[in-house]
């Protein structure tokens, strides 16, 4: 009869090794010193708008995309510069009396619209860099929104685990008193302590997940450690479900789709550059020739033009044409991929919203009522602690499932944000 009690007693001893919830709280919301005093956070209550501003201003990937846009301005500037002239001198015969010295300046003259074609191609490269910046901002926005709501839900899960620990403590105290009064077996108290140890583990896990979520959010603006205390946003806000046809229309403004279209235009501009190179440039030469033997100066005028007999830039033109065709194919692929991804994400959002609403309105309240009724019945001696434990576990699982569904909902909404490149639903500030 003693052997079945040994595992329970061993498990109950875990309670002594797990820090009390009051100690666990000290690590939530900021860093702690060796003395146990919490350091003041830079931001006590972080909003989604503030998180987005921080990410837009300090995210290294967005900064890199901005640098690329700035670099393309240099490309446009360089594309519009005309070729430099060339100064040359020639001396014939080293003897002073019979020496002939020629000084001339040569200026290449571009024909065939080369300069305008280069400028157009550079401008398309700038447009492409701007589209990349817009797409990167959309990516970071979706990342921030998903990370923000992970923190929101982590905070909610932490509060749930904390309240569960408090209830478990109360149940353990009640069980201990009833054992002393001789109303229940000591096994019931042991089970209560084991259950309390289990929920303390859940609390520690919830706190760890919350810390991870806070670090992931802070990393979006390059912070090595979270520089905020909590985030301010209702955890139970569900994004509205916008009809899919309406989202498909808005998909036409997607930065990813815009980038694919601009790439086609850039390739067309590059083809125009290569075609302009078929026409050779003309070099105009002006100078003066000094003949020491005759003792007079003569003017020198020259004009040179390459003969495009063999090299007509035909290979580069063919390459540019095929790359333009490839860009058109990539545009079609992007359109199909975005439509498919939007449809799948919209379906996932719809399922998550339905699940979250059902859990919120039916499952969680029913589990909570059952748990509260069982707890009161246990205090009055109507139920065993095992029944209380089962009801508690059911309520915790229902609430946790609801929080997971809520997180999936906001992740799906953030994914739609990324595809549309705009504020969609749950991301409203």
Per-residue pLDDT, averaged over 44-67, amounts to 91
Residue 229 has pLDDT above 70, yes or no: yes
Q: Which domain holds residue 260?
A: 45-84+115-279+326-420
Q: Is there a domain that residue 206 lies in? A: yes
Give the CA distances from residue 341 to residues 79, 256, 334, 425, in Å, rounded to whole numbers and listed in that order.
Answer: 39, 12, 10, 17
Q: Is there a domain that residue 169 lies in? A: yes
Distance CA 216, CA 208 (A): 12
At 371-414, the pLDDT tens digits run 889 888 877 778 776 687 788 778 888 988 888 898 889 889 88
Q: Is there a domain that residue 18 lies in? A: no
Give the CA distances from residue 295 to residues 93, 98, 103, 289, 301, in Å, rounded to whole numbers and listed in that order.
Answer: 15, 9, 16, 11, 20
Q: What contacts 47, CB < 8 A, 6 or more positions away?
A: 231, 232, 233, 429
User: In CATH, what number is assigned to the domain containing residue 395?
Assistant: 1.20.1600.10
Q: In the 8-state DSSP scheme, what is residue 251?
A: G
Q: Is there a domain that residue 294 lies in? A: no
Region of residue 109 (left: phi > 0; alpha: psi -120 to 50; beta: else) = beta
State residue 40's pLDDT score: 35
Give the CA distances from residue 245 to residues 249, 250, 256, 350, 356, in Å, rounded to whole numbers and listed in that order.
Answer: 6, 9, 19, 14, 23
State residue 36's pLDDT score: 33
Q: Is there a domain that residue 96 lies in? A: no
At 181-192, the pLDDT tens digits run 887 778 878 888
For 194, the token pair is 């084991």
Distance CA 73, CA 70 (A): 5
Residue 195 has pLDDT above 50, yes or no: yes
Query: CA 22: distance to chain centroid?
Result: 35
State residue 234's pLDDT score: 60
Nearest to 137, CA basis, from 223, 64, 62:
62
Q: Structurally, how many domains does the chain consist of?
A: 1
CA angle 30, 35, 36 (to 5 degrees): 40
Sheet arrangement for strand 282-291: 86-92, 100-109, 282-291, 296-304
**Could you tell me which residue, 39 or 323, shows the higher pLDDT?**
323
Residue 105: which pLDDT band, with cuts at 50, 70 and 90?
Answer: very high
Give the CA distances from residue 409 to residues 137, 146, 234, 418, in Å, rounded to whole numbers and listed in that order.
Answer: 21, 10, 14, 14
- What mean pLDDT is reported for the chain? 84
At 67-98, the pLDDT tens digits run 999 999 999 999 999 999 999 999 988 888 88
Distance CA 147, CA 238 (A): 16
Per-residue pLDDT, averaged over 225-254, amounts to 84
Q: Is there a domain that residue 224 lies in? A: yes
The C-alpha R_g of the chain, in whole angstroms, comes to 37
How would you classify the pairing of strands 228-231 and 100-109? unpaired
State residue 70's pLDDT score: 95
Please count the other Cβ atoms lying within 10 Å of the Cβ belonging to residue 8: 16
Distance CA 202, CA 162 (A): 9
Distance CA 284, CA 391 (A): 95
Q: What contacts 137, CB < 8 A, 6 or more positions away?
A: 56, 62, 65, 255, 421
Lowest mean pLDDT among 262-266, 281-285, 296-300, 375-379: 375-379
Instruction: Return the percentage of the chain with pLDDT > 70, whole number.
Output: 87
Q: Is there a domain that residue 140 lies in? A: yes
Residue entry with tokens 């309390």? 196
Per-residue pLDDT, averaged over 44-63, amounts to 90
Q: Is there a domain that residue 364 lies in? A: yes
């Amino acid at each position: 009869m003693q052997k079945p009690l040994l595992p329970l007693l061993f498990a109950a001893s875990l309670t002594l090794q797990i820090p009390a919830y009051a100690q666990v709280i000290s690590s939530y919301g900021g860093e702690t010193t060796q003395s146990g005093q919490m350091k003041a956070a830079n931001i006590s209550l972080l909003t989604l708008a503030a998180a987005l501003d921080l990410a837009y201003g300090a995210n290294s990937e967005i900064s890199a995309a901005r640098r690329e846009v700035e670099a393309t301005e240099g490309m446009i500037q360089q594309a519009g510069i005309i070729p430099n002239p060339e100064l040359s001198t020639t001396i014939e015969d080293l003897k002073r009396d019979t020496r002939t010295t020629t000084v001339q300046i040569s200026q290449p003259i571009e024909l065939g619209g080369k300069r305008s074609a280069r400028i157009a191609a550079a401008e398309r490269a700038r447009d492409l860099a701007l589209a990349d910046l817009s797409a990167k901002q959309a990516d970071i926005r979706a990342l921030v929104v998903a990370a923000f709501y992970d923190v929101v839900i982590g905070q909610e899960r932490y509060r749930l685990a904390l309240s569960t620990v408090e209830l478990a403590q109360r149940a353990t105290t009640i069980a201990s008193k009833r054992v002393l009064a001789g109303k229940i077996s000591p096994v019931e108290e042991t089970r209560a302590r084991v259950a309390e140890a289990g929920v303390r583990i859940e609390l520690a896990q919830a706190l760890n997940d919350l810390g991870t979520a806070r670090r992931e959010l802070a990393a979006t603006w390059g912070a090595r450690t979270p520089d905020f205390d909590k985030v301010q946003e209702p955890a139970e806000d569900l994004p509205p479900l916008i009809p899919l046809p309406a989202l498909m229309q808005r998909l036409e403004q997607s930065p990813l789709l815009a980038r694919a279209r601009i790439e086609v235009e850039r390739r067309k501009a590059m083809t125009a550059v290569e075609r302009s190179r078929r026409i050779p440039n003309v070099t105009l030469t002006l100078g003066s020739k000094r003949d020491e033997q005759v003792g007079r100066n003569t003017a020198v005028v020259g004009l040179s033009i390459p003969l495009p007999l063999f090299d007509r830039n035909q290979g580069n033109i063919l390459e540019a044409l095929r790359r333009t065709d490839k860009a058109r194919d990539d545009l079609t692929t992007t359109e199909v991929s975005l439509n498919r991804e939007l449809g799948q994400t919209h379906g996932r959002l719809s399922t998550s919203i339905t699940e979250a609403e059902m859990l919120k309105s039916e499952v969680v309240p029913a589990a909570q009522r059952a748990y509260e009724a069982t707890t009161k019945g246990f205090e009055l001696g109507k139920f065993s602690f095992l029944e209380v434990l089962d009801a508690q576990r059911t309520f915790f699982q229902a609430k946790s499932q609801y929080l997971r569904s809520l997180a999936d909902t906001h992740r799906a909404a953030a994914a739609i944000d990324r595809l549309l490149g705009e504020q969609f639903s749950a991301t409203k500030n």
